[in-house]
Amino acid sequence: MEQVLRQAWAFVFRDYHLTRRYFSWVVVFTFYAVVNSATVVLIGVAAGDRKLTLTLLVGVLLWGFLSVLFNEIANSITYERWEGTLEYTFMAPVSRLIHLAGVSLYAAAYAVVRASVIVAGLLLFVDLDLSRANWAGMVVVLAVSSAAFIGLGLMAAVLPVFSPERGAEATNIFQGILLLVSGVYYPVEVLPRWLQPLSVVSPATYALSASRKLIGLGDGAQQTAGAPLSACAYELTVLTLMGLVMIPLGLYVFGLVERWAKRTGKLKRTG
């Protein structure tokens, strides 16, 4: 067990130093995320609508966390290619499960830190009393929904293996579809009817629904206090099932593509 933990920690440690190496880019993207989030939330402030402001606030915060979690895992292969370490990593005598667990752990930690910075930045622009929100319940929702997004990220991570030139762009398309159909900034009911079924299979849809209840956006028109966690039983059940399905599926897909890449010589840096 100690060896497993040390190996997983090694990947966390490696990704941490990779972030340090490109820290100036991290600062730039985080600054843009803060400004973009504030711009979206201020739409609700300008309209003088507290409910709209809270809806947009939950959307930018939750999507900011889940999208970074997804993106860091999905682009892990791309980062390996940039560093020229992809072939070494795949040939190392380390279980792929341990490798991906380390990558996922770091991605989750990075997403938490980045979301915290965005929250701090938003406090400079928006004055909202969220003292009655169910923050403990929000933490539970984030933890449960993270599992499903880790599974999605593992599946998307194989795209750069197929195409070093276009794989990263394909992961952005995947992420964009999730943003579109999940109702991040609007109810999914406003989507065209042919798109609405896709919202049912997006874990972000259920994470957003639960978070809005917990922050005080339930069915009651005058509701200001966050709902108890029991009010989100349906969403949490769906998210749990999605996580139980998507993580093993993601590992299975990743394993299939890894074996194909090794057999066909696709691990070299240039593809």
Q: How confident is the model at residue 267 (pLDDT cuts 50, 70, 90)?
A: low
Of 207, 51, 45, 64, the residue nearest 127 (C-alpha) = 45
Concatenated DSSP letters for 43-95?
A: HHHHHT-HHHHHHHHHHHHHHHHHHHHHHHHHTHHHHHHHHT-HHHHHHSSS-
Instruction: Provide the residue type at 97 as one letter.
Output: L
> At how many degrees (to 10) do helices 233-264 and 203-215 cross?
150
Give per-residue pLDDT as tens, 75-118: 887 777 777 777 777 777 888 888 888 889 999 999 999 999 99
How far apart are the C-alpha atoms of 103 and 45, rounded to whole Å?
38
User: What is the average pLDDT score of the chain?
Assistant: 86
How far apart are the C-alpha atoms of 169 and 4, rounded to whole Å?
33
Three-state DSSP class for residue 164: coil
Instruction: Count other C-beta atoms under 10 Å from residue 116's C-beta.
Output: 11
How far apart are the C-alpha atoms of 199 and 151, rounded to whole Å?
17
Q: Residue 129 has what pLDDT?
A: 74
Of 255, 229, 51, the residue nearest 138 (C-alpha) = 229
Widest distance between CA atoms in the chain: 61
Report the half-sphere exposure of 75 (CA within 13 A, side-chain side).
22
Give per-residue pLDDT as tens, 40-65: 999 999 998 888 888 899 999 999 89
pTM: 0.86
Give per-residue pLDDT as tens, 202-239: 999 999 999 998 988 765 544 556 788 889 999 999 99
Q: Residue 218 has what pLDDT?
A: 62
Q: Residue 157 has what pLDDT?
A: 84
The CA distances from residue 65 to 50, 82, 98, in Å, are 22, 24, 23
For the chain, give the percent of residues with pLDDT over 70: 93
Q: Residue 135 has what pLDDT?
A: 86
Instruction: Provide the residue type at 144 as one letter.
Output: V
How far apart are the C-alpha atoms of 108 and 55, rounded to whole Å?
24
Q: How confident is the model at residue 159 (pLDDT cuts 50, 70, 90)?
A: confident
* Residue boundaries of the structural domains of the chain: 2-264
Q: How confident is the model at residue 245 (pLDDT cuts 50, 70, 90)?
A: very high
